[in-house]
Amino acid sequence: MIQFQHVTKKYGKDYAVKNINLSLEEGKIYGLLGTNGSGKSTTLKMIAGLVQPTNGEVLVNKKKANRRMAEEVSYLTELDRFYESFTVHDMVQFSASQFNDFQLDKAQELLEFMHLDGDKKIKHLSKGNRGRLKLVLCLARTVPILLLDEPFSGLDPLVRESIVKSLLTYIDFGKQTVVVATHEIAEVEAILDNIIVLNNGDLIANLSVEDLREEKGQSIIEWMKENIN
């Protein structure tokens, strides 16, 4: 589904990621973990085709990832940037005009699920509701790949829970592949199939979390404490 072959990305003299080989399977939920500056966002952006590797190749469905990847990838940015004067509905309509696979009825259902008022102006939304709206726009598409960059960052526990529930409710399981970059490990611990762990630009693991619990009796955090210093 997604493959990294000897992928290196440098910004100037600094390595963002170093010689990564990685393969992601269809229909699984991956947690992309690592400390700040470990290369998580760069990795997501390379899958989305928004950043090109310095060396190596990123393949999505056997095609090289590029700017036209938006047809296959729904990408939730860590940035909180909207057209402030838009209403929630305007924003949904705008997204629908940008992506052929955007499902208006699904967006409507998601707005209700998230208790978002379509007539409200975005500039009047709370931070939590802006976070929810981003997810609505991301999940309303039928793309095979969903990339979420820090979807929980700065949001309160109730909003974080509603985000997890909406993922479980609205993902097309077994078909859509999801990659969540996050520091909120406890939040996603029970919904992940695998974790991909980066440390200073090196890939140090891609492993099944149930295997981790079964074979080593370790939680994700316990494993990370043992393997990252």
Residues that bind other proteins (CB under 8 A): 28-29, 161, 164-165, 168-169, 173, 186-193, 210, 213-214, 217-222
The residue (of 10 and 213) whose beta carbon lies closer to other proteins is 213
CB of 182 to other proteins, least distance (A): 13
The residue (of 2 and 220) whose beta carbon lies closer to other proteins is 220
The residue (of 38 and 166) whose beta carbon lies closer to other proteins is 166
Q: Are 44 and 147 in contact (CB under 8 A)?
A: yes
The residue (of 83 and 221) whose beta carbon lies closer to other proteins is 221
Q: Are 6 and 56 in contact (CB under 8 A)?
A: yes
CB of 116 to other proteins, least distance (A): 19
CB of 220 to other proteins, least distance (A): 7
CB of 212 to other proteins, least distance (A): 9
DSSP string, the chain: -EEEEEEEEEETTEEEEEEEEEEE-TT-EEEEE-STTSSHHHHHHHHTTSS--SEEEEEETTEE--GGGGGTEEEE-SS----TTSBHHHHHHHHHHH-TTB-HHHHHHHHHHTT--TTSBGGGS-HHHHHHHHHHHHHTB--SEEEEESTTTT--HHHHHHHHHHHHHHS-TTT-EEEEE-S-HHHHTTT-SEEEEEETTEEEEEEEHHHIIIII---HHHHHHHH--
CB of 194 to other proteins, least distance (A): 10
CB of 148 to other proteins, least distance (A): 15
The residue (of 23 and 66) whose beta carbon lies closer to other proteins is 23
The residue (of 79 and 190) whose beta carbon lies closer to other proteins is 190
